[in-house]
Amino acid sequence: ISGENISAAKSFFELGGHSLKAMMLINKINKGFDITFPLEEVFEKTTIQKQAVYIKLINFLSTEISLVEAEDFSENIII
């Protein structure tokens, strides 16, 4: 992908992206954000804007799941 005229609103594929570059992008996203970004999401969320929203959602959901797992529900049970 050329560094010229890159915009967060431009499609990854309009900028010259293809399947091999998509795999490289996923690898960088996964390592950089410590998440699992599925390949199909690159094809569905083709802009940086859409990918960023998806990454925020993954991070939010993983935080919420961690909080639920950490709670001790046994203290809240009234018999």
pLDDT in tens, 30-49: 999 999 999 999 999 999 99
Question: Domain limits of the chain?
Answer: 19-71
**Contact criterion met (CB below 8 Å) for 12 and 25:** yes
More confident residue, 76 or 53: 53
Q: Residue 76: its pLDDT value, please?
A: 58
* 13-23 burial code (b ≥16 CB/10 A, e <16): eebebeeeebe
Name the pLDDT band for 62 (thresholds 50, 70, 90). Answer: confident
Q: Residue 3: its pLDDT value, please?
A: 64
